[in-house]
Structure 1
């Protein structure tokens, strides 16, 4: 569910079910040509769909961080911390271009990066991403 789809009057009713926020990171540098920006946004959208579609009703997608690389990581981490303080149980950061590192984003509960998209042990990328999200929820409920 996109943040813009939630009406003020329904948030308190939906809040117990929507416990996970997704924070997309485009990772643009400003050197891309317009067609490259379109390609980057479409690819990130496709990866976001791997989480948004099967887990609709449990995740809320927040606006994306568009420009920057390493220098924006402290800001993304602070957003994760604040969102969790505001009531979300989990913060997932997703980028299809940047290899995010745990030490950069300690307040993120899951980092979905290109390393998760590569087939491992015969598993499709989409399946692997879905399994990681489910594992996060299973481990978090213990």
Structure 2
């Protein structure tokens, strides 16, 4: 079977062209889905700490990165599915959260209790100021009373 030249009407040509465009779109969608399902995955863990020392702010940031490069060797087999990636992400998130809580304690609970303590302190401070000023007021009234007696 050799190369043949086939004449098409404009209507048939347009219909075939639209079909080819649809196939191209479908191919791109399937390729994207295939990549999402079986493509490369990468895990980045970023740890950032902010420390204040003698009025200076110091930032410590560490990045741990892991990527599977097996797709280059065996491109047609599923390396890891989207569901598997989400499972790995959930496991790592839970492990990092537990490790942080084990090492530093519950930071949110501490922050909330610290904020409550500061709020209570400000209320107690105003009560102490009121008592102190009222005490000075009573003392001044007694002094003035004793002077003008």
Q: Same fold (TM over 0.5)?
A: no
Bigger Rg, structure 1 or 2: 2
TM range (shorter): under 0.3
Q: Pick 1 or 2: higher relative contact order, CA cutoff 8 A, min separation 6.
A: 1
